[in-house]
Amino acid sequence: MKKLILILFIVLSFGIVKADVWYDTIKASADDGICNIIDGPAWDVRLTDNTFYINCTGGTYGSGIFLRFTTCPIPDGATIDSVFVAFQSDEGTWGTCSTIVVFEDTADATTFSDSADFANRHWTTAVDSVPVPNADAYVRYEIKIKKEVLQEVIDRADWEENNDIALRTYKLSIGVYSHKILAYDYSTTLCSVIRVYYTTGGVVKKPQVIMIQ
């Protein structure tokens, strides 16, 4: 008579939290553009330019770009670890500059349409002053954005996975160096992209029952 020996192993792993670090790269959408402040709340927004200046040199405009990234697979409750935005330079730059970066304070950024639409948007309280490195012509380079800026969007009660996010840059002061980059309308493969590293945690491992016959 065959004996069955059942050895029961109960593996208890309560209290051990599993945290997974993921990253996703999302390219900018067709409604990327450049915005210039004209006077007070008045904006000059252009959506069909082939190239953008991250910062404007001289003049009286406060210049910057805006980018929208669609279907961002960052789950609700995620912790942002780091954020990078990569650009393709259109021409060589002649000095480093700094730019202010904010995200739109909304759970799902809608398509940019015109100057009035842009003027009515609200931006995160968290901001970052980001140095933009010197770059040769036609090279890919990236800037790192303080994680707290995007975290403010992900922490919204109405944020959901696969929503859209929008980013805006604007110059610190008149007369700083400018960096010319390629837009989505120039190339759908060389346009700007965002790369986000984030952590999903809080998953407690359940007890496992292993039976060996």
Any idea of the CA torsion for 31, 59, 99, 90, to the nearest 10 degrees? 60
What pLDDT shows up at residue 159? 96
Q: Evaluate whether 200 touches 77 at the Cβ level (below 8 Å).
A: yes
What pLDDT shows up at residue 153? 97
> Which among 196, 195, 190 is positioned nearest to 89, based on CA atoms?
190
Whether the pLDDT of residue 92 is over 60: the answer is: yes
Sorted by where each begins, the domain ranges of the chain are: 20-202
Q: Evaluate whether 155 touches 106 at the Cβ level (below 8 Å).
A: no
CATH number listed for the domain at residues 20-202:
2.60.120
Whether the pLDDT of residue 184 is over 70: the answer is: yes
What pLDDT shows up at residue 128? 94
The pLDDT tens digits of the residues spanning 51-67 come to: 887 765 444 445 678 89
* Average pLDDT score over the chain: 77
Q: Evaluate whether 184 touches 48 at the Cβ level (below 8 Å).
A: no
What pLDDT shows up at residue 148? 97
Report how far residue 146's alpha carbon sits from residue 168's, in angstroms, rounded to the nearest whole number: 14
Helix (H, G, I), strand (E, B) or coil at 88: strand
**What value does the mean pLDDT take over residues 86-105?**
83
Who contacts 49 (Cβ-Cβ below 8 Å, separation ≥6)?
A: 33, 34, 183, 185
Q: Which range, 19-28, 40-49, 95-104, is most confident?
A: 95-104
**Count of other CB atoms within 10 angstroms of residue 19:** 10
Which tokens belong to 24? 């996703």
pTM of the model: 0.78
Please report, rounded to a whole number, the percentage of residues in the chain having pLDDT higher than 70: 71
Query: Between residues 191 and 24, which one has the greater pLDDT?
Result: 191
**What value does the mean pLDDT take over residues 1-8?**
41
What pLDDT shows up at residue 213? 31
